[in-house]
């Protein structure tokens, strides 16, 4: 199975501040994804991050609120900007390797609480 790490694993932040979440994968991958999981809910895709191009955002998510970087084939960051309590969620990154089929493997997640 793939190895995907995320930092931080959890954080408590004040409203109006920003938090950057890092995602590192163990081998080069073309597609990385960022998801949000609000309390008691399922996963919702925020955006797809391909190396060398702008991230593709899903409906309801905008770059100003969730800027994403993908500087190389093993790393990505998601920033949650100008946070409000409604941003309290688990944020998960995932990656998909062609040689491993179409399965997406997930990182351990970042638990964010905004006060």
Q: Enumerate binding residues for another protein (CB under 8 A).
A: 1, 33, 37, 41-43, 45, 48, 90, 92, 94, 101-109, 111
Burial class (CB in 10 A: 0-12, 13-18, 19+), 112: buried
Strand partners of residue 106:
94
Nearer to another protein, 65 or 111 (CB): 111
Nearer to another protein, 1 or 14 (CB): 1
**Token pair for 77:** 């960051």
Residue 6 CB, shortest distance to another protein, in Å, is 9
Residue 3 CB, shortest distance to another protein, in Å, is 12
């Amino acid at each position: 199975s793939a190895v995907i790490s995320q930092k931080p694993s959890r954080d408590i932040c004040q409203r109006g501040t920003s938090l950057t979440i890092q995602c590192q994968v163990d081998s080069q991958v073309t597609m990385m994804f960022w998801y949000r999981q609000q309390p008691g809910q399922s996963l919702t895709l925020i955006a797809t991050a391909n190396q060398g191009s702008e991230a593709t955002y899903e409906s309801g998510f905008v770059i100003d609120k969730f800027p994403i970087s993908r500087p190389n084939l093993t790393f990505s960051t998601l920033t949650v900007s100008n946070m409000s309590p409604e941003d309290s969620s688990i944020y998960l990154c995932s990656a998909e390797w062609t040689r491993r089929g179409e399965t997406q493997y997930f990182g351990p997640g970042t638990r964010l609480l905004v006060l």
